[in-house]
Structure 1
C-alpha cells in the first residue's frame, strides 16, 4: 500500500474531494445501518399486533414505512453525491499524474529516449495511471463505508450476543491475511503481463507510425505474429494467475461460509429459545448480510489494489529517474520566450569551441574522440565524413542534448553543461535530416519555432524556403491539415516547411543537418538561395549531402573514425589528398564502385 500512499501524497491538493467523499461514506453507512433498525421496529410491531400481544395503530406502521423510505432516499442522494465527487476527483488525479509524467519525460536526458520505445512510454502512461486512478476512485468510494459498516455491525452484534461479535472479529483479519498472502504471488504474474503488453504496445505504435514501410516490404504477417506472440504470453500468464487466485478464493470463501453458517445457526437457535424477538432476529440477519458485503468486496478491493500497485511501480520508476537539471529549469521557467537571444559581445572572434571533446552513447564505445575545433562568428563550416562518423552527434552536443564524456563545448562564452538551455537553444536554428513535423496546420508547423509570429512573417519565411507556391495550391492554404508527421505532404514539401521553420526563427546560429536532402535539384536550388541569404551574418554549421552545397563555405571539417582528420578551406582540402579531395575525384568518376563509395559519406552526385 506504500505505493498508493505515495500517489495520495503526490495529489494532496485534492484533499477537499477526499474529505467530501469520506463525509459521504460516513452518512451512507449511518443511513444503511438505520434501515435494519426501522425494519426491526416494524416487524415487532406487526408481530405483536398479529399475536394480539399489543395492538399497534396503523399510523405507526405508516411512519415506519416513511422512515424507511426517507433513509433509503437520503442514502441514494448521498451515494450519488459521493459518486460525483469520486468521478471529478479521479479525473483531476489523472490530470495531475499525467501532467507530471509528461513534464518528467520532457526533462529527462536524451539518452533515456535512445533506449525506450515511444509506444512503451505511451502504454506505460495509459496503463499505470488508469489503474491507479480507478483504484483510488473505488477505494475512496467504498473503503470508509466498509470500515464504518464493519465496526458498527461488530458493535451492534456484540450488544445483542457477544459470540456473534467474536466470530466477526475473527473473520475479518483472517480473510484479509489469506488474501494478502495470495496477492504476493499474483503480483509477479501481473508484472510479467505488463512487460509483454508494453512491448507489444510499443511495437504497435512503431508499426502504425511507419505502416507504409511495413506494407512496402510485405511484413504485415511478421509484425502481426510478433504482436500476437506477446499477447499470447499474457494468456498463459493470466491462466496461471487466475487459476491460483480462484483456487485460493474457494478456500477463503469456504472458510467464510462455514463461519456464517455458525452465525446464522446461533441467531435462529437463540430466537427459538426466546432470547431474541422476531424483530431482533430480522435485525441481526440484516446485519450479518451487511457484514458479508465488505468481506466479499475485500477480494475485489485487493485485486484492484494489486493492479494499481503494479502500475504505480512503473510510474514511479520513471518519476524517480534523475532529470537533466538544465531542462528542469527550462520547463519551470515562466518566461516562455520564443525569441532568439542576441549574442554577447566578447573579446575574440570564437563563438563556438569544442575543447578535447569525447562522446559515446550510453553503454557504447566513443563515437567522437579528442575533438578540438573553434568556430568564428559569422563563419560557415561544413562537416564531411563517413555515415555514422559523428557529424550529427557533434551537432547534438552543440544543442545540449547530450553532455560530453570528456572535454567541454562552449557557445558564446557559456559552457553548455552548465548553460541556460532556453537561452542556448533560442540562439540555434535547426533543420533536421528528417523534417519532423507535427499534426496540425502548415502555418502551425512553420510557426513552431516562433508561435507568436504573424501570418505575414510565416508567409515570408515560406517564400524564402520555396514553399509558398505549393502551400497556396492546397484548398485551405496555410490552414491545411497535414496529418501525423506531415503524412499528406511529399518528402520535399515537408523539408521545405522545416526550412521555413528555421528561417522564421531567425537565430544567430544555424545548423543544417542535410537540410536539402529530400529536395529535387530545382527545389534545392531555390531553397539554397534562401538559405544563403539567411546565412549572411550568421554562424552556420552544415552537414551536406551534395559537395556543390559546401563549395562556398569558409572551412570544411572532415571526420574520420570519430576524430577530426582535416580542417581547411575548400581549395586547401581539394589539394590536400585527404577525404574531401577523394570525394571530389569520386564525384567526377563514372564507376559504380566510386558512386557506392560516395554514399558511404552520405554524398550523392
Structure 2
C-alpha cells in the first residue's frame, strides 16, 4: 500500500482527475444498485396483480420499467464519463512520469551509464511506467465502485437477513488473504522474469544499434541464440508462476462456490417459508451476483497492484539515485539558445588548470595519478600516450563528465566540482574520435549546438569542414535524413559533419579527440585547414593520431601509466629521449614490431 500511496503522492497534480473519476464510480455504483430494486418492484407487482386482467398492474409495471431504463442509461453515461477521464488521466500520468524519468536520466552522472545497458534503461521506462499507469487507471475507475457496491450489498443483505451479511463478510477477508498469499510468491517470479526481459531488451537495443558490426562479423545466429535463451528462461518462470497461481485460484473459487451455495440455499429456503417475497428473492439473487464481481475482481486488482509495486520499485530506484547537482540546472528553465560564455582570462593567461588530479572509474583503480598541468589561453596542446593511458579520460574530466577523486580541475577560474556546467560546456567545442550523430537531417546535426543557426551559417561551417560538396551530392542536400547514428553516411562523412558541428559552435576552448582519424589523407588535409582556422586564437587540446599534427602544436604533454611524463615544445621533446622522441624514431623505422609499437600510441605515422 505504501508504494501505491507513493505513486499517488508523486502524481498529486492529477488529484482533480482522481476526484472526478471516483465521483463517476460512486454514481455508477448507485445506478447499478437501483436496477435490482426496480426489477424487485416489477416482480412483486406482477405477482400481486397476476390473474387480475390486463390493465390492473400495467401502470405500476411501466413505471418500474422506466425506472430500470433510467438507471441503466445513467449507469452507461457515468461509466463512459469515468472511462474517458481515466484514459486522459492515464496518459497524463504516463507523460508526467516519463518526462520526469528522462529528466532524471539527463541529470545523472555519466558513471551511471557506465554500468547500465541502454536497452535496459529504455525497457524499464516502457515496462514500469506502463504497469504503474495501468494500475492507477484501474484503481481509480473501479476501486470506489467496488467499495460502494460491496458495502451496499452487505447492508441490504443484513437488513433482509443477517446470516447473509455474515457469510458475505467471511468471503471478503478470506478471499483477499488467499489472493495476497498467492501474490507474494507470484511477485518473486515476476521480478525474475522482468530481470531477464530487461537484459534481453538491453541486448536487443544494443544489437540493433550496432547492426553493421553484427552483420560484418556474421554473428546474427549467435545474437539470436542469446536473445532466444534469455526469453526462453522466462517460459519456465511463467510456467511455475502460472501453475501456482491457478492452483491457488482453484482453492479460492472452490471456497467461493461453497459460500455462495449456502447463500443461495438460505435465500430459497426463506422464500419457500414465506419470509421473502418473490421480489425479495429476485433482488437478493441479483445482489449476490453483484457481490461476486467485487470478490473475483480482487484477484485482478491485487495482480495489477503487485505489478505496479514491482514497477514502481524499479522506477523509484532510478528516481532516488543521487544526481549531479550541477547537471540539474541544465534541464531547467526556458529552452533558449545562448551564446558561449566569454572567458575572463586574457590571451597568454592560465585558462585551464589540473591540480594534483587523481581519478578512477567507479569500482576500479586509479587511471590518472597526480596530474598537474596549466594551460594558457590560446595554446595548442597535444596529448600523447599509449592507448588506454588516460588521454580521453583527461578530456572527460575537463568537460565535467566525471569528478576527480582528489585534486581539482579549474576552467577560467571556475572549479568544476562546484561550478556551472552550462557555462563550462558553452565554452567548449568537441569533436570525438567516434562521430556521434542523431537521426534527422544533416543540417540539424551540424546545428545541434546552435539550433537557431541560419542555413548560410550551417553551410559555411560545412565548407570549412570539407563537407559541403558531398552534402550537396545527396538528393535533399542539407535536408537529407541520415538515419539513426548516421548509418547512411561513411565514417569520413560522419566525421566531417562532426567537425562542422564544432566549427559552427565557435567555442573558445576546443577539444579534438582524434578528430580526423576516420578521414583519408586528402580529406584530412582539407578538414585540418578548417580546424587550423578554428583553432586560431582558441585554446585547443588535441589527441592526435598523426605526428604531423602533433608537431604543429605549442606544447606536447606525454602520459605514461596515467601520469604526466613530459611537457614541452615539439622541438624540446624531440631531443629529450622520451615518448615523443621514441615516436619520431618509430615513424622512421620499417620494422613490423616498430610499426605495431607506434599503433599502441594511437599513432599512424
On whether the aligned pair clears a TM of 0.5, the verdict is yes
Post-superposition offset of 1:55? 7.4
**Distance across 1 between alignment mates of 2:60 and 2:555:** 104
| 2:156 matched residue in structure 1 | 156
**Distance across 2 between alignment mates of 1:30 and 1:53:** 35
| 1:239 matched residue in structure 2 | 239
Post-superposition offset of 1:52? 4.7
Bigger shift: residues 264-273 or 224-233: 224-233
| 2:519 matched residue in structure 1 | 519
**Distance across 2 between alignment mates of 1:412 and 1:309:** 48
Bigger shift: residues 315-324 or 243-252: 243-252
Post-superposition offset of 1:387? 0.5
Does structure 1 retain, via aligned residues, the 8 Å contact 2:31–2:74? yes
Q: Does 1:559 align with 2:535?
A: no
Post-superposition offset of 1:297? 0.8
Post-superposition offset of 1:414? 0.6
**Distance across 1 between alignment mates of 2:559 and 2:403:** 20
| 1:10 matched residue in structure 2 | 10
Q: Does 1:201 align with 2:201?
A: yes
| 1:147 matched residue in structure 2 | 147
Post-superposition offset of 1:591? 1.4
| 1:259 matched residue in structure 2 | 259
Equivalent residues in 2 for 1:204-243, closer than 5 Å:
204-243=204-243
| 1:127 matched residue in structure 2 | 127
**Distance across 2 between alignment mates of 1:431 and 1:338:** 20
Does structure 2 retain, via aligned residues, the 8 Å contact 1:396–1:402? yes
Equivalent residues in 2 for 1:70-89, closer than 5 Å:
70-89=70-89
| 1:540 matched residue in structure 2 | 540
Does structure 2 retain, via aligned residues, the 8 Å contact 1:48–1:54? no
**Distance across 2 between alignment mates of 1:51 and 1:582:** 118
Post-superposition offset of 1:235? 0.7
Bigger shift: residues 583-592 or 512-521: 583-592
1:57-93 per-residue CA deviation (whole Å, 9 max, x = no partner) reads 3222222222211111111111111000000000000
**Distance across 1 between alignment mates of 2:14 and 2:408:** 45
**Distance across 1 between alignment mates of 2:87 and 2:481:** 35
Where in structure 1 are there 5+ consecutive unaligned residues? none
| 1:178 matched residue in structure 2 | 178
**Distance across 1 between alignment mates of 2:6 and 2:144:** 19
Does structure 1 retain, via aligned residues, the 8 Å contact 2:345–2:351? no
| 1:272 matched residue in structure 2 | 272
Does structure 1 retain, via aligned residues, the 8 Å contact 2:429–2:511? yes
Does structure 2 retain, via aligned residues, the 8 Å contact 1:338–1:449? no
Does structure 1 retain, via aligned residues, the 8 Å contact 2:347–2:376? no
Equivalent residues in 2 for 1:316-331, closer than 5 Å:
316-331=316-331
Does structure 2 retain, via aligned residues, the 8 Å contact 1:193–1:234? yes
Equivalent residues in 2 for 1:304-453, closer than 5 Å:
304-334=304-334, 336-345=336-345, 349-453=349-453
**Distance across 1 between alignment mates of 2:341 and 2:264:** 81
RMSD (Å), alpha carbons = 1.3
Post-superposition offset of 1:444? 0.4
How many residue pairs are counted as aligned between the two chains?
605
Post-superposition offset of 1:253? 1.1
TM-score, length-normalised on structure 1? Answer: 0.98
1:25-72 per-residue CA deviation (whole Å, 9 max, x = no partner) reads 000000000000000000011111225599743222222222211111
**Distance across 1 between alignment mates of 2:425 and 2:392:** 16
1:261-300 per-residue CA deviation (whole Å, 9 max, x = no partner) reads 1000000000000000000000000000000011011111
1:214-254 per-residue CA deviation (whole Å, 9 max, x = no partner) reads 11111111111111111111111111111111111111111
1:339-397 per-residue CA deviation (whole Å, 9 max, x = no partner) reads 21100146971100100000000010111001000000100000000000000000000
Does structure 2 retain, via aligned residues, the 8 Å contact 1:28–1:75? yes
Does structure 2 retain, via aligned residues, the 8 Å contact 1:330–1:420? no
| 1:41 matched residue in structure 2 | 41
**Distance across 1 between alignment mates of 2:332 and 2:179:** 44
**Distance across 1 between alignment mates of 2:325 and 2:86:** 36
Does structure 2 retain, via aligned residues, the 8 Å contact 1:271–1:281? yes
| 2:502 matched residue in structure 1 | 502
Does the residue aligned with 1:424 lie in a helix, a strand or coil?
helix
Does the residue aligned with 1:352 lie in a helix, a strand or coil?
strand
Does structure 2 retain, via aligned residues, the 8 Å contact 1:49–1:55? no
1:440-461 per-residue CA deviation (whole Å, 9 max, x = no partner) reads 0001000001111111111111
